[in-house]
């Protein structure tokens, strides 16, 4: 029997596959526990801490880091920066997988996941920002699916449908930016209902603005970061255009991110000034706040700036890691660290190992599917039938 692909020659027990396999196996077992024993059997959630890392990390960080999709497609198709075109498909793929995984993670966290359609189709609670988040995420996932589909359609050889869908690009991109603006900011606005529970340095009437602006540089940074990983492991899948444009993407996005991050720092200080919360900076919490803002926003912003000025690709990539960690830190601070700061330490929350395992499981599935798609479909290269 003839060998079909080159991969069959290599063993499937690569280190990546083995580790991913173990994580997935573990995840499946915990899934069964979750749906037979309830959240109490698997998480450290309690009546004082109803939301843990499945919301704080999987949902909040997942959505923020998937922002590369709308940012990249907007810069290419709305702002007309065609030199970023090769970065669009990888970014859209990441965003689509990211949001799909967010929905998957929600199926674990929410008590009755089969009722997730209820708020949209049965009984809309329009006073709730969570309704807004749910509606937008649902619509945006649809938009991303359609934006991603040309790659799959090209792979499947369905030319006519593919050409039809491609004509929708601009409308979908604009709709995507609208939806992203709404749900990125609304995730921040969720916490506005509980001023008595969130530490004043993180609570602000500007939470929606903070979340939206940080989603912009989170997306830019993720594109740079993933680009650097893809170059290392999926280089053989990249065509000439992609390779030629990639340095420009990294440096250009780094420069943009630097500027946006500084704007964010300004708005953050405005938030403190408007509520006259300066005195909190001199506390332990203040130190933590400054670490998050200075160490993980100001510093990477400067690194990006230096890298952009010197055209230093390596520095841009390191800065992107720092920036991504900064966004993750910010979301975790708001959802589980500075949340319930009033409570005595005995009543505070820390995730159980099973919660962490499920989060890891969700991310691993994302990486595995990403690898599957990029090694088969025209993501890093242009399909020969459609080159223009």
Partner 1 sequence: MGISRRQFLGWLGAAGAGATAVSRAEAASNKQFGGYPDSFGILHDTTRCIGCRKCEEACNKVNELPVPEQPFDDLSVLDQSRRTRSDVFTVVNQFRKENSQLPVFVKNQCNHCLEPACASACFVRALRKVKTGAVIYDESLCVGCRYCMVACPFNIPAYEYNEALTPRVTKCTMCHPRIEKGLLPGCVESCPKEALTFGTRERLVKIARRRIQKYPNAYIDHIYGEQEMGGTSWLTISGTTFSEIGMREDLGTQTASSFTAGPLAAVPVVVALWPVLLTGIYAISKRKDKIADEERIHAVAQTVADANEEMQVKLAKMKDSMAKEKEAAINLEVKRALEDAAREAAESQQVSEGTGSETPKEEK
Partner 2 sequence: MDALFYTLHDFLLHSKSITYMLMGAILLGLLLFWLFLSGRDEKKRTF
- By the rule CB under 8 A, 175 interacts with partner 2: yes
Q: Where are the alpha helices (DSSP H) in 12-84?
A: 15-37, 53, 62-65, 68-73
Q: Would you say 4 or 47 has its CB closer to partner 1?
A: 47
Tokens of 187: 């995730």
Among 126, 196, 276, 345, binds partner 2 (CB under 8 A): 126
| Site string (21-50) toward partner 2, x via CB under 8 A | ------------------------------
Q: Which residue in the block uniquely carries the two structure tokens 């173990």?
A: 22
Tell me if residue 303 falls in helix, strand or coil.
helix
Q: Tell which one of 38, 156, 274, 310 touches partner 1 (CB under 8 A).
A: 38
51 lies in the site for partner 1, by CB under 8 A: yes
Q: Is 77 in the site for partner 1 (CB under 8 A)?
A: yes
| Spatial separation of the C-alpha atoms in residues 78 and 73, rounded to whole Å | 8
- Residue 307's beta-bridge partner residues? none
Of these partners, partner 1, partner 2, none, which one is at the site of residue 167 (CB under 5 to 8 Å by kind)? partner 2
> What share of residues in the chain are helix, strand, coil (percent, to 5)?
80, 0, 20
Cα-based angle 162, 98, 169 (whole degrees, multiple of 5): 30
SS3 339: strand
x/- mask, partner 2, residues 134-153, rule CB under 8 A, reads -x------------------
Contact 68, 222 (CB under 8 A): yes
Q: In this complex, which beta carbon is closest to partner 1, that of residue 112 or of residue 167?
A: 112
- Write a three-state SS string for 158-197: CHHHHHHHHCCHHHHHHHHHHHHHHHHHHHHHHHHHCCCC
**Assigned token pair, 113:** 């996941």
Q: Does 177 bind partner 1 (CB under 8 A)?
A: yes
Smallest distance, partner 1 to C-beta of residue 5, A:
41
Q: How far apart are CA 202 and CA 214, in angstroms?
A: 14
Closer residue to partner 1 (CB): 5 or 123: 123
CA distance 35 to 355: 14
| Total interface residues for partner 1 by CB under 8 A | 60
Q: How far is the CB of 172 from partner 2 (least distance, A)?
A: 11
Binds partner 1 by CB under 8 A, chosen from 124, 229, 287, 376: 124
C-beta of residue 220 within 8 angstroms of C-beta of residue 253: yes
At its nearest, how many Å lie between partner 2 and the CB of residue 55?
23
194 counts as binding partner 2 under rule CB under 8 A: no
- Does position 160 interact with partner 2 (CB under 8 A)? The reply is no
Q: Tell me, residue by residue from 86 to 125, as one string, x for binding to partner 2 by CB under 8 A and - for no binding.
A: --------------------------------------xx
Residues of span 179-218 touching partner 1 by CB under 8 A: 181-182, 185-186, 189-197, 205, 207-208
User: Of the candidates 3, 123, 276, 345, which one interacts with partner 1 according to CB under 8 A?
Assistant: 123
Alpha-carbon distances of 308 from 104, 193, 293, rounded to whole Å: 37, 40, 21
Nearest-approach distance from CB 81 to partner 2, in angstroms: 14
Question: Min. distance of Cβ 115 from partner 1 in angstroms?
Answer: 4
Query: Which of partner 2, partner 1, none binds 388 (CB below 5-8 Å, type-dependent)?
Result: partner 2
- Spatial contact of 335 and 58, defined as CB atoms under 8 Å apart: no
Distance (Å, rounded) from C-alpha 183 to C-alpha 135?
9
Q: Does 277 bind partner 2 (CB under 8 A)?
A: no
205 binds, among partner 1, partner 2, none (CB under 5 to 8 A by kind): partner 1
For partner 1, the closer CB: 78 or 321: 78
Contact 256, 220 (CB under 8 A): yes
Q: Per CB under 8 A, does 62 bind partner 1?
A: no
Minimum distance from CB of 193 to partner 2 (Å)? 13
How many whole angstroms separate alpha carbon 64 and alpha carbon 200?
Answer: 22
Q: Rounded to whole angstroms, what are the CA distances from 13 to 18, 237, 320? A: 6, 21, 31
User: Which residues contact partner 1 by CB under 8 A?
Assistant: 34-41, 43, 45-48, 50-51, 74, 77-80, 109-113, 115-116, 118-119, 122-125, 127-132, 134, 170, 174, 177-178, 181-182, 185-186, 189-197, 205, 207-208
């Amino acid at each position: 029997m003839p060998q079909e692909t080159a991969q069959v020659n290599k063993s499937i027990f690569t280190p990546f596959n083995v580790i991913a396999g173990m994580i997935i196996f573990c995840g499946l077992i915990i899934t069964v526990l979750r749906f037979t024993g309830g959240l109490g059997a698997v998480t450290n959630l309690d009546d004082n801490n109803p939301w843990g890392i499945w919301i704080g990390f999987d949902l909040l960080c997942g959505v923020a880091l998937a922002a590369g999709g709308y940012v990249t497609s907007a810069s290419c198709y709305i702002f007309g920066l065609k030199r970023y075109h090769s970065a669009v498909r990888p970014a859209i793929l990441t965003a689509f997988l990211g949001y799909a995984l967010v929905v998957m993670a929600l199926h674990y966290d929410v008590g009755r996941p089969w009722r997730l359609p209820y708020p949209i189709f049965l009984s809309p609670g329009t006073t709730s920002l969570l309704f807004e988040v749910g509606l937008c995420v649902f619509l945006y996932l649809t938009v991303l699916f359609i934006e991603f589909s040309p790659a799959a359609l090209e792979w499947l050889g369905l030319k006519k449908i593919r050409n039809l869908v491609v004509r929708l690009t601009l409308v979908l991109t604009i709709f995507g930016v609208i939806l992203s603006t709404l749900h990125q900011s609304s995730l921040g606005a969720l916490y506005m209902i509980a001023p008595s529970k969130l530490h004043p340095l993180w609570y602000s009437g500007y939470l929606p603005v903070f979340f939206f602006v940080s989603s912009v540089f989170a997306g830019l940074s993720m594109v740079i970061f993933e680009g650097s990983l893809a170059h290392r492991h999926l280089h053989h899948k990249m065509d000439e255009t992609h390779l030629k444009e990639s340095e420009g993407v990294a440096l250009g996005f780094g420069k943009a991110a630097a500027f946006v991050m500084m704007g964010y720092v300004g708005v953050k200080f405005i938030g403190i000034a408007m509520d006259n919360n300066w005195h909190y900076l001199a506390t332990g919490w203040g130190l933590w706040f400054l670490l998050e803002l200075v160490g993980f926003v100001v510093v990477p912003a400067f690194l990006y700036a230096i890298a952009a000025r010197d055209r230093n690709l390596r520095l841009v990539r390191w800065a992107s890691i720092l920036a991504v960690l900064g966004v993750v830190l910010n979301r975790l601070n708001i959802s589980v660290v500075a949340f319930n700061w009033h409570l005595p330490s005995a009543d505070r929350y820390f995730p159980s190992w099973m919660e962490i395992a499920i989060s890891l499981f969700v991310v691993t599935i994302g990486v595995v599917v990403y690898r599957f798609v990029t090694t088969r479909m025209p993501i890093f290269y242009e399909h020969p039938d459609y080159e223009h």
